[in-house]
Amino acid sequence: MRWIWQLPDWPRYKWDRLRLQVLEHRFLHESGRRVGAAVHLTEDEREELRIEWLTAEAVETSAIEGEILDRDSVHSSIRRHFGLSADRGKASPAESGVAELMVALYREFDRPLTHETMREWHRVLMRDRPELTVVGDYRHHSEPMQVVSGAIGRLRVHYEAPPSRAVPAEMEGFVSWYRASGSTGASLPPLTRAGLAHLYFVHIHPFEDGNGRIARAVAQKALAESLGEPSVIALSRMISRHRRDYYDRLGSAGRSLVVTDWLVWFAETTLEAQVWSERRLIRSIEQRRLLERLAGQLNERQRKVLSRLFQEEPDGFKGGLSAGNYQRITGAAASSATRDLTDLVAKGALRRTGSRRHTRYWLDVPSFPASGLRNS
């Protein structure tokens, strides 16, 4: 069986537009609602939320590829890019590189996508990678570019990309398509365009490494262009949550130009990311209101724990907060932890469940409806 780029109609993808119409409508509707909610935050709060989102997306897009980064180092690197103070010193090349990519993606969302844009993304992502033959340019090697799994001797080839000699022409076609798909009068709907851009880029696989991260960056850029503002949708977080399904869907889309199933999955995952991002924004507004209500009534330990709990929202602090957790987070003695927690319950900041060693504490905020997020 031939690979998708060997088919006669490549790269003329086909899909069922009717299956995507409702999803596209939901995306635009939810985007407007999120923008409306953001006005309840101060500029400083929006900036902190933006940095937090960029940090999480940087860490998650790397984790999808099996690269585990130090979140605090990435966070500090992003703060430095915005000219803000940072807690950590110099980050690793991988941490500073993905931080630089995320900041560029945010600041330059409306700049045209060019070959040099993607080469620069590759340069910052892959710097200090001596095992790569080419960094900051399309691959040159003569060996097949294959996506494989399994042990040596029992490798399974999931996909084979076009040969390196064909990449310049393929990428010229990709860049032309990307520009045309966003132009006035010929533009595709946001989710369709972003999903196709991701898939088309992955099918070419133009770089030696980092193709997945750059494909997701291209998709985020396409979403931002469609909305006319930088994207703050937790796309990589949701893809990471459904990582196995993500790779299965990409694999299934590697042999046919009919890509409806991939586009529907991508659209649903983006909508899930959008719901999560809106809920995170709502929790930030609730955090502000809670701290305003309790101004002057909390000690530093209590403020630190509330901040930590809100940081885990909207997913929630896994398993609930115990007195032991409180001690580990704050360094408080057992008696102080018990007193602080009792006080937070009395003030309406936390609610308590269970008893004795099963006692757990939760933020006392309204629950979100179960719909909107799929199971991991």
**Is residue 140 exposed (0-12), middle (13-18) or buried (19+ Cβ within 10 Å)?**
exposed
Residues 277, 227: Cα–Cα separation, whole Å: 15
* Second-level CATH architecture of 298-363: Orthogonal Bundle (1.10)
Tokens of residue 30, six digits: 């939810």
- Per-domain boundaries in the chain: 4-280, 298-363
pLDDT of residue 186: 75
Q: Which of 225, 197, 325, 220 is nearest to 274 (CA)?
A: 220
d(CA 89, CA 80): 10
Closest alpha carbon to 220 in 205, 204, 206, 239: 239
Predicted TM-score of the model (pTM):
0.91
Among 54, 30, 46, CA closest to 237: 54
CA of 115: how far to CAs of 23, 48, 56, 147, 206, in Å? 31, 32, 27, 23, 11
pLDDT digits (tens, 9 = 90+) for 278-323: 999 999 999 999 999 999 999 999 999 999 999 999 999 999 999 9
**pLDDT value at residue 86:** 80
Q: pLDDT digit string (tens) for 205-252?
A: 999 999 999 999 999 999 999 999 998 899 999 999 999 999 999 999
* CA 91 – CA 93 distance, rounded (Å): 7
Residue 290 burial (CB count, 10 A): 19
Write the pLDDT tens digit of every residue in 188-205: 999 999 999 999 999 999
| Other Cβ atoms within 10 Å of 108 Cβ, number | 14
The confidence score (pLDDT) of residue 90 equals 81
Q: Quick check: 226 and 175 in contact, CB under 8 A?
A: no
According to the model, what pLDDT value does residue 376 have?
A: 52
Q: Would you tell me which CATH number, out of the four given (3.40.50.1980, 1.10.150.120, 3.90.190.20, 1.10.3290.10), belongs to the domain 4-280?
A: 1.10.3290.10
Q: How far apart are CA 24 and CA 188, in angstroms?
A: 10
In DSSP terms, which residues pair with 147 in a beta bridge? 159
Give the residue from 196, 232, 201, 271 showing the smallest Cα distance to 105.
232
The Cβ of residue 99 has, within 10 Å, a number of other Cβ atoms equal to 26
Low-confidence stretches of the chain (pLDDT < 70) are: 1, 33-38, 88, 151, 371-376
- Residue among 39, 35, 51, 57 at smallest CA distance from 285: 39
Compute how many other C-beta atoms are within 10 angstroms of the C-beta atom of residue 22: 10
